[in-house]
Amino acid sequence: MNELELKKLLKAVRAGSLSGDEALNRLKHLPFEDLGFAKVDHHRALRQGFAEVIFGKSKTPKQVAEIAQAILRRDSQQNVLITRADKKIFTAVKRIHRAAKFHELPAVITIQRNREVTGKGTICVVSAGTSDMPVAEEAVLTAELMGNRVTRLYDVGVAGIHRLLHHREELTQARVIICVAGMEGALPSVVGGLVAVPVIAVPTSVGYGASFNGVAALLGMLNSCASNVTVVNIDNGFGAARVATCINHL
């Protein structure tokens, strides 16, 4: 339940169109609903502006579907996001809501019921290479579902720096930039040096052996000489988009 729905509920009680008992029944699962295997945080949308996001990995399809159903049942306007999902999870979720979509490349399931754009500017998601697209797309879908305008700028890594410079105007127009790169992770430093906005760097596990599954990119980004660059965890496109959303809604 978001803030708008809570206000409507209170107004309905005051107007007499909703009984106190019925209002209590709707509110009784705030701040959380205990499903036995999970405690669904229904209060999160009120606290943070977006419902609890479901991490699909290591959960059974049935568990994910039940958590999604609990969120859908309590908030008629809230979008639902499931990350690190697969086709088996999607099949279970599709049974409870026909609008569920499976985005295979980033392994994300979305149920979009609210398309309102509430962010003040544009979030630009930049990726170094095509191999980084799964993480970049996780960031794009997360940011879009959280009410942001998003642009994509893919395959513009430092091995061909002219590709990035060709899009310099798009970079300068963004309010926040998410920069996704593997290998040595050099791209965020370059992007950071071109713009005056926050750059959220996402290291990916893309690379040969000495990349240590993204650790090399992570350390390179943490040591960036561009002072407007900050870093999230390896392959964490979702986390980058959540932080970008907070910035874009300030």
Distance (Å, whole) CA 36 – CA 40: 10
pLDDT for 178 equals: 98
Q: Is the domain of 88 the same as that of 167?
A: no
Query: Do residue 13 and residue 40 come from a single domain?
Result: yes
SS3 state at 1: coil
157 and 184 assigned to the same domain: yes
pTM: 0.86
Do 144 and 202 belong together in one domain?
yes
DSSP 70-86: HHHHH-SS--EEEES--
> Residue 54 has what pLDDT?
94
Instruction: In whole angstroms, give the CA distance from residue 117 to residue 151.
Output: 14
The reply to whether 129 and 236 lie within a common domain is yes
pLDDT for 145 equals 95
**Does residue 160 sit within a domain?**
yes
From CA 246, how far away is CA 37, in angstroms rounded?
A: 30
Q: Provide the token pair at 195.
A: 């713009």
Check residue 222 and give its pLDDT. 97
Residues 57 and 130 in one domain: no
CATH number at residue 143: 3.40.50.1970
Kindly state whether residues 213 and 177 are assigned to the same domain.
yes
Under a CB-based contact definition with an 8 Å cutoff, are residues 163 and 129 in contact?
no
Number of domains in the chain: 2
Would you state the pLDDT for residue 28?
A: 63
The verdict on 73 and 161 lying in the same domain is no
**Domain termination residue (choose one: 89, 111, 133):** 111
The domain boundary residue, chosen from 88, 111, 134: 111
> Both 7 and 105 in a single domain?
yes
Q: Which residues, 6+ apart, have CB-to-CB distance to 107 below 8 Å?
A: 56, 83, 84, 85, 86, 134, 138
| Residue 61 lies inside a defined structural domain of this protein | yes
243 and 126 in a common domain: yes
The answer to whether the peptide bond before residue 188 is cis (omega within 30 degrees of 0) is no
Q: Do 49 and 140 sit in the same domain of this protein?
A: no
- Domain boundary among the residues 111, 142, 162 is at 111
Identify the pLDDT of residue 30.
Answer: 67
pLDDT values of the chain reduced to their tens digit, one per residue, 250 residues: 566 777 887 888 888 888 887 777 766 656 777 788 888 887 787 778 888 899 999 999 999 999 999 888 877 778 999 999 999 999 999 999 999 999 999 999 999 988 999 999 999 999 999 999 999 999 999 999 999 999 999 999 999 999 999 999 999 999 999 999 999 999 999 999 999 999 999 999 999 999 999 999 999 999 999 999 999 999 999 999 999 999 999 9
Domain of 18 in residue numbering reads as 3-111
